[in-house]
Structure 1
Amino acid sequence: MFLRPELPKLALTALAVVSLTAATEMDPINPTCPLNPNWSANPTMKLTVEKRGTMKVMLAEGRVDSGLPDRLSAALKANPDVSEIWLRSPGGDARAGNAAGRIIRSNPGLATRIPSGWACFSACNFVFMGGAPRLIEPGGEFIVHMFTSTGDRSLIDESVAMGTDATTELIGDVEQDSALLASEDNDFLIKMGVSRKLLTDIMYRQKAVKGSGPDKSTRRCLTLDEALKYGVTYAVE
């Protein structure tokens, strides 16, 4: 059970739910998720400050890259009156996502939001969880998966070409780094007030890569009820 902190007074326009006028086509491989999630194709996360109603918000759109924490810190210092960060991202650098989440948490009262129709995947999850409060609008997608320590297929192929010893060494390095990252993620969730069961019940139960069996899913979109259950978001009264 998670206690909801007091929500700041937000503009009514920002709390309005946008109705989806057309049915969302679902992904047959990842049936809990839309076929074409609306995450930004920006190769690095772009931070744009805009007025939305009476609020000043920061739109964070694009890939979570290694330079994001420094850019985010500088942008927040230059715009101390930003009240929310709105996220649309396909994920990226896991540790940069954790660092960005901690920067957001170091700014008391700074909220994060996934607007209706936007998607926040993978490393974006950890940026989002830095907010207090955290808001997922109906129609917003919080998409999780099992993280992989190396997504560089060329590195894997190269090690295989070099022979068994090189592949064994790579596997050992990946296992070690994955264990460290899992520990870091666990610590992060505790500090952000999110249930660690989000990892054990949901994230770690997803496949890291598409398998050869009937279940080829690698992504899971949380329902709003699940997001509330695990403390990912708060109920809005």
Structure 2
Amino acid sequence: MRSWIKSVAAFAAMLACTAATPPGIDPDNPTCPAKPNWSDYKTMVLTPFKRSGELVLLAEGRVDSALPARLEKVLSDNPSISEIWIRSPGGDARAGNAAGLLIRKFSKSRQMITRIPSGWTCFSACNFVFMGGRARTIDPGGHFMVHMFTMTGDKDAIQSSVAQGTESTTELISDVEREAALMATEDNDLLIRLDVSRDLLSDIMYRQKAVATGSDRSTRRCLTRKEALRYNVINIGGD
């Protein structure tokens, strides 16, 4: 009898869990898709293509340190590019900031839109590339996914420093804190220059946990359309 009761309880718990998390949604990060479509290219691939007579640039893959140089060449060689469609899992934060500023520079002399198409995801460093557009839009079903900046993902550096002893680990912690402070300042300055509300950092990005702990596994957040408009992440295509 007890075994039967346990089985029923387990089945009910499974149904409750299934009902609470719609299909395709990440149960740990319930505002985001379970399998983000952000491309598996190891470095960002830039591909101009014609669409309805307009030249569009596809920007797909990881934000790497050489992206700004490649992006500048593509935009210089293709002055008729009218839109940039972006999907990326993020990558080099400073390269993302530089690429965003580069897009803004080119946007001064031409009408150029940055877009996250339906089903695509722009995460982490990609956020700042996207926000470089003077005109910005996210199609319904597109995802602007954010997280807290962290260096704790560098496991090799952490393990090496711990192996070397307390002094080395203390130096690493100092480096992490200094780098985090610098990035926070740079991000804040960049949002001002890209006419995006700085409240995006304090209200959304910096409220995310850097590392999942305990029962709350959420480390990512996808903006709703209302939030994207409120913080001026998008400035065209509003409801």
What is the TM-score normalised by the length of structure 2?
Answer: 0.87
Aligned to 1:135: 137
Q: Distance in 2 between matches of 1:233 and 1:76?
A: 22
1:155, distance to aligned residue in structure 2 (A): 0.8
Shift of 1:149: 3.2
Gaps of 5+ in 2: 1-21
Pairing of 1:23-172 with structure 2 (within 5 A)? 25-108=24-107, 109-149=111-151, 151-172=153-174
Partner of 1:175: 177
Return the offset for 1:223: 0.5
Cα distance in 1 for partners of 2:46, 2:195 equals 25
1:137-187 deviation per Cα after TM superposition (whole angstroms, max 9, x unaligned)? 000000000011353111101111111111100000110111011000000
Moved over 3 A (4+): none
Q: Distance in 2 between matches of 1:62 and 1:205?
A: 26
Higher helix residue share:
2
Contact residue 88 and residue 119 of structure 1 kept, 8 A: yes
Number of residue pairs the alignment of both structures matches: 214
Q: 1:224 corresponds to which letter in structure 2? A: R
Q: What is the rounded CA distance, in whole Å, between the counterparts of 1:150 and 1:57 in structure 2? A: 36
Separation in 1 of the partners of 2:167 and 2:85?
A: 46
Question: Rg: which structure is higher?
Answer: 2
RMSD: 1.1
Counterpart position of 2:229: 228
Deviation of residue 24 (structure 1)?
5.2
Contact preservation (8 Å) 1:24, 1:34: no
Q: Distance in 2 between matches of 1:24 and 1:78?
A: 43
Q: CA deviation at 1:55?
A: 1.3
State the distance in 1 between where 2:23 and 2:78 align. 36
**Letter of the structure 1 residue corresponding to residue 147 of structure 2:** H
What is the alpha-carbon distance in structure 1 between the residues aligned to residue 200 and residue 156 of structure 2? 31
CA distance in 1, matches of 2:157, 2:67: 24
Deviations 1:13-67 (A, max 9, x none): xxxxxxxxxx751001111101000001000000000011121000000000000
8 Å CA contact 2:26, 2:32 repeated in 1: yes
Gaps of 5+ in 1: 1-22
Which AA in structure 1 matches 2:232? G
Amino-acid identity (%): 64
Q: Secondary structure of the equivalent of 2:38?
A: coil
Q: Which has the higher relative contact order, 1 or 2, with Cα contacts under 8 A spaced 6 or more apart?
A: 1
